Amino acid sequence: MSRALLSAFLIAVAVPALADEPKVSIAIRDDGFVPAEISVPSGTKIELSIKNEQKSAAEFESKSLRREKVIPAGAVATVYVGPLQPGRYEFFDEFKPNNRGFLVAK
């Protein structure tokens, strides 16, 4: 099999696999996360799209998910988590610790 044909085959196989990852969108606002609780399937890798709608930077952080990401004002960041065991995973804005939310894997 030629390298070009092998490369085309690997791309064709990988692209549908990437498209199967559930994508969840979250917004960070001055008064908290929207939505504040998100249900996701357990046992699956999840793509979190996080939009910072504030006028200042935010830091998405989750000790239980082992993720943290500084997101500039008005920017969108992507964080991948999982596959997750069934459970409730807390996340928060490190710069505004009272702003908290939960990812619930079922």
| Residue 85 in tokens | 């065991």
Q: How many CA atoms lie within 13 A of 30 on its CB side?
A: 3
**C-alpha distance across the termini of the chain, in Å:** 43
Give mean pLDDT, residues 33-45. 95
Output the average pLDDT for the chain: 87
pTM: 0.76
pLDDT-derived band of residue 16, with 50, 70 and 90 as boundaries?
A: very low
Q: What is the mean pLDDT of residues 62-83?
A: 96
For residues 28 and 43, give the distance between their C-alpha atoms in angstroms, rounded to a whole number. 26
Q: Are the beta carbons of 52 and 73 closer than 8 angstroms?
A: yes
Domains of the chain: 21-105 (2.60.40.420)
Using 50, 70 and 90 to split pLDDT, how confident is the model at 45?
A: very high
